[in-house]
Structures are given as structure tokens and as C-alpha cells.
Homo-oligomer: A and B are copies of this chain.
């Protein structure tokens, strides 16, 4: 297995990316880790290089504020683009990047390329749930306008991902909707519902956004627009509540004492809700495996991205999706 790590993407690059790649290379000697980026800068951070760690030079970097499509088209020697090209040309099996999300989706589409039979690849991050297990949601922002057939493919890909990478035997797949009854929804979800019923998956029907945090399914199918509204409103509400709590706790000596007593519990609560804890988000439906790590990834998050990619490769995720899509 050859896994490429974009050394230059993310808030803590290249330091965390190099550190994470090093830890991964040491932990999994059967895996070749390829760091792509500025050779000189990477070299300066690599003191003791294990034999299964390689560096490939790339002279450019796609920045967080770059316009995705333009950046991918113009910066042909950007670390992210070079990594994508290695996947397409069979020089590597998977790639991980903590860089610009839009640019990574563009790299997936234009450089790595779509899987045959897939119209729209999907970004599939984990949404936090109360039980700490999380829910894989797709699409979360790769495509703003979806057709019922796209949602059908998302359902299939998401189910296979949960099975192959997370080891869930019969993942429960739900459709994000405004009510639980089958006839509910807008034109998109009304037409997608019967298409999801046709699939060889464990479709549990419509799921309302208020039930998401209770972990009522393992895979949540949605269009990119609604998915974005859902994810950011969970994030915003949790953030707002924590800041309200903080304010309330600071109000008096009594509440300050209560806050001190509660601090460890509140920290654990906050981490349950932190979607960064759930590892990277796969881009599903491409010709190869691409994992988006959070922009603020530390070395451990990068290493977890490698672990995710390894599991997916070991369980032949991309081949399984391709077989299902082509009806083999």
C-alpha cells in the first residue's frame, strides 16, 4: 500500500503533516508513506527517516484562500495536485490532505477523476452523535444541487464505506427529510425515497434533523446544500450553548464554583461533539481514495487519516463501490 500525504495543506503544515506521516510510517511498516511538498522544508523536519517513508518534491502550494478551480488548473505543481496525479497514474493508492476543501474536491474531480458510472462524487464527513459513534453524512458540500439518482449513489457509497472502513455489518441508511413518513419532503427527497428502497442496503427511511444527534442511523443521505445547513447549525448551536454556559458560569462566585466542579465533565462533553475527533472525510465516487483531513489537523489527526486510508485499502473499498455501481 502506498499512501500519499499532502505535506503542505492545513493550518499546521508542514510540521504536523510530516510528524503524522512519520508516526504512521513507524507504526505500519507494510505501508509506504509518500510525503509530497517542498523537499527542503520537509527534509528539515525529517531527522530520522524510516525506509518506508519517501519524499516527492512539489514546488507550489494551494492556499486556504485560493479559488479552488483556478488554483487546481494553474498550480500544476502544487503538492495537492501532484498527489492527485500520483493516484490517477497508479503511483499511489490513496491520498490525504488537510488543505483547501474546495481545491481538494476539484483535484478529486479534475485530477484523480470520477469513478465510471458515478455522476457526482460526494464529501462524506462524520457528524457527531450523543453516543460518540458519529454518523457518516453525504453529500456535505461537494455538490449544491442534487438529483434523486445522485442521492441513490450516495446511499450506496456511504453504506459500503461504513461497512468496509468502520466494520458495521448492516449500516442503517437514512434520508434527511422534514418528516419521518414516506410521502414527506421536497421533490428531491420524494423521488429519492423509492430509489433508496431499491438498493441492496439497510434503508431505514426518512430522518429528521432533530434526531441526527441521537444517532438514529449510520449513514445520512442528503444534498450538499441541506447537509451544509445541518452540519453548520449543529456546530453553531453547540458553540452558542457552550458560550452561553460559560457566561452563566462566570456570573457569580456560586456559579464559578459550580463551573470548577464541572470542568472535566464539560470538557468531555465538548469533545463528544467535536467532529474533528472523528478523523478525515472521504471523497467517495472517485477513481482512487481521497481523504480530507480537518484544516486544523495535528500530527495525530494526520496519522488517523493514514489509518483510515489503510483500512479502506485493505478492505478494497474503491473496488467494492465500483463493482456495485457497475452492477457486477
Whole-angstrom distance between the Cβ of A207 and the nearest chain B Cβ: 10
Q: Are B236 and A248 in contact (CB under 8 A)?
A: no
Q: What is the count of identical protomers in the complex? A: 2
Is A144 a contact partner of B185 (Cβ separation < 8 A)?
A: yes
Stretch at the interface among A52-60, A164-172, A222-230: A222-230
Q: Which of A258-287 contact B (CB under 8 A)?
A: 258-259, 261-262, 265-266, 268-269, 272-273
Which residues in B have their C-beta under 8 angstroms from that of A251?
265
Q: Which of A130, A262, A269 counts the most B-chain CB atoms under 10 A from its CB? A: A262
Contacts of A230 in B (CB 8 A): 209, 229-230, 233
Residues 176-215 of A contacting B (Cβ, < 8 Å): 176, 178, 185-187, 189, 208-214
Q: Which residues of B contact A232 (CB under 8 A)?
A: 178, 208-210
Among the 9-residue stretches A4-12, A27-35, A237-245, A295-303, the one with 4 or more Cβ atoms under 8 Å from chain B is A237-245
In the complex with contacts A144-B187, A212-B236, A233-B212, A261-B257 CB distance below 8 A: yes
CB atoms of B178 and A228 under 8 A apart:
yes
For window 118-136 of A, CB contacts with B under 8 Å fall at 130
Contact (Cβ within 8 A) A236 B262? no
How far does the alpha carbon of A265 sit from the alpha carbon of B145 in the complex, in Å? 43
Verify if A235 is at the interface (C-beta below 8 Å from B): yes
A311 on the interface (CB 8 Å rule)?
Answer: no
**Residue on B nearest A241 in the bound complex, by CB:** B241
* Inter-chain contacts of A262 with B (CB < 8 A): 248-249, 255, 258, 262
Cβ–Cβ contact A209 & B225, under 8 A: no
| In the assembled complex, A254 has its CB within 8 A of some CB on chain B | yes
Whether A84 is near chain B, meaning CB under 8 Å from some CB there, is no
With an 8 A cutoff between CB atoms, is A14 at the interface?
no
**Chain B hits for A212, CB < 8 A:** 233, 236
- Residue A234 is within 8 A (CB to CB) of chain B in the complex: yes
Name 5 extra pairs, CB < 8 A, besides A144-B178, A210-B235, A261-B261: A130-B244, A178-B228, A208-B236, A251-B265, A255-B261
| Interface residues, chain A, with chain B CB atoms under 8 Å away | 130, 141, 144-145, 176, 178, 185-187, 189, 208-214, 223-226, 228-230, 232-241, 243-245, 248-249, 251, 254-255, 257-259, 261-262, 265-266, 268-269, 272-273
Pairs A–B under 8 Å by Cβ, sample size 7: A145-B186, A186-B223, A186-B224, A189-B225, A209-B236, A214-B240, A233-B233
